[in-house]
Structure formats: C-alpha cells, structure tokens
Amino acid sequence: MNLDEIFDMVTKRVVTNGMRIFEVKKISYGIQFKISDGEHSELLRIYQNKKNETKYDYSQIRNEPFKVKIQKIIQDPQFVEISSNKDYGYPIIGTDEAGKGDYFGPLVSAGVFVKDENEAKTLASIGVKDSKELSDNQNIELAEKIKEICKYHFSVIEISPRTYNNLYSQFKHESKNLNTLLAWAHAKVIEELLSRVECNKAVIDQFANEKFLLNKLQEKGKRIEIIQIHKAEENIAVAAASNLARAKYLEKLSKLSEEFKMNFPKGASEKAIEMAKLFVEKYGEEKLQDIAKLHFKTTNSV
C-alpha cells in the first residue's frame, strides 16, 4: 500500500474506535496528524521510504496508556474498542426510535439483538454508531449491513402518522403523554425480538420513568432486566437499532414525498410549516393527519 492508502486505513480504524483525526498535513516522506478521543489529543506521524517500508512514529504521544491504545488500534486489525460504561455484556437487546422530532413522517422504533462480543466487534468495525452522527446515506447503507450481520435478530416497527395521531389522542384522553407512546413503541420491538431469541436484558435511552416501559411490556418482556440510561447509543446494540430506525424513517418519508409529489423536510423548522401550508392548500386539512404528527406546535402555524 502507498502512504495515502495506509493513512486511509488508519483513519478508518481510528474512526471505528470512536476517535477523530484532524490537523492533517504532508511532511517529508510522511503524513503528520493529531488523534483525539475527546480527553487526549496527541500527535502522530507515519513515514514511508522509497522501498515502501512504513514506520509509525508514536514518540510525540506523551500519555502512555493512550499511546498503547493507539498502537493497538492502528497495528492490530482485529482490535476494536467497544467497552465503555455503556457495555453491559452479551447477549443484549438495544432499542431506539426515529422520527420523534420530525413533523412529517412516521415514528419508527427498532430493536437489535447482539448475541456476543464478536458480533458487537463486527458491528463496530463497519462504523455503527449513533444515527445522529451519520449522514442519511450512511444510515441507509449501514442498515443493510446490520441486517446481514444480525440475520433475523432485529425488529423494526413503523407507526404511520395516522396511527401515531390516533394513539397520541388515546393516550392524551387517558391523561398520558408522549413518553407513554414511546414506551409502547419500544415495548413492541422488545416483545417481537423475545419471540425469536433468548435474552435477559435490554438497554434503552432514558426518556421517562422506567414504569412507563414496564407497564407496556407483556409476559416475556417483564422477565428481562431493562437498563435505561442517558446516551444509550454508546452501546453498540442501541447504536445499531438507531441506524435501522433512522433508515426506515427516511425510506417512509421518501415514499410519502413521492405519493403526494411534495418534498417533505425532516425536522420541524420553518420549512416544515411552509410545506404543511402548501399541503393543506392542495389536499385539505383532514388529510394532514396522514403525513404529519398533529400534536406538534407546527400545526398551530399551518
């Protein structure tokens, strides 16, 4: 491999392990750059002589534990750092949702069953991370790879805008809120997965009191340990679920745009308000519940 190819390989391994590379510049016979994990930021150089012999210069890395870790990441192709305070062992189910903050389109919940550490490392090696840190195309591409790796050990449930609006109205009538609807959605994917796999724990983002979720789980779901934490996407199973959920949301939003021949935007910005006004002019107010989440404040501006 030439120097540029080696640098691309190094970059991929560094990013896979949750770090970033910056301040890249060419130097005599090599490339110099910095690596950061958010806590440490250190200088590294890669050299290649005329015989294509490669040398990694770690001499500028002052923190010894960080140096050892970087050496493993760069020079051991099998090394993937997945352990953190969000690693709860295996097997595990991770769940997440997409579309919660988007006016147009469905709410999608997804769950992924990761059976062991090898599967977790494989997911990490292809770049699985919180969907919010990835582009739309990256989420779509990753979703297909996740499905191949996890076989049938995943579940994706789409709640169409009309169904979402009906459920929201029902829960509101019962003096419940959006968290109850989210709990219902997460419980559905957990129960779906437990009909096919054996697992005794699931990790999920902290969006409400645990009782909301437990109340929505059926017999099998009530027997597993529910771990609710902030930034749950740091767990590889939750990150994979977030990729699947976002990819499905994007797919459904695109289909709605094709069906009504309007380019519905993500989010709930001024663009969403303007598009909703155009939609109502063309299709009528009653039809809005087929494409949008009506409880958003956006509806008041339409």
- Cα separation, 129 vs 31, whole angstroms: 27
- Cα separation, 114 vs 123, whole angstroms: 9
Would you call 22 helix, strand, or coil by DSSP?
Answer: strand
H-type alpha helices, 82-177: 117-125, 136-149, 161-173
State both tokens at 186: 């997460």
| Architecture of the domain whose range is 92-254 | 2-Layer Sandwich (3.30)
User: In the beta sheet, which residues pair with residue 41?
Assistant: 36
Which of 199, 209, 232, 208 lies closest to 85, judged by CA? 232
Domain(s) of CATH 3.30.420.10: residues in the chain: 92-254
State both tokens at 45: 């150089």
Q: What pLDDT tens digit does each residue of the chain (302 aa) get? A: 788 888 888 888 887 777 788 889 999 999 999 998 777 889 999 999 888 889 999 999 998 988 988 988 888 766 655 544 466 889 999 999 999 999 999 999 999 999 998 899 899 888 898 998 899 999 999 999 999 999 889 999 999 999 999 999 988 888 888 888 888 899 999 999 999 999 999 999 877 556 667 777 777 777 888 888 778 888 999 999 999 999 999 999 999 999 999 999 999 999 999 999 999 999 999 999 999 999 999 999 88
Domain(s) of CATH 3.30.310.240: residues in the chain: 3-75
CATH code 3.30.70.100 for 3-75:
no
State both tokens at 62: 């002052």
Q: What is the rounded radius of gyration, in angstroms, for the C-alpha atoms of the chain? A: 23
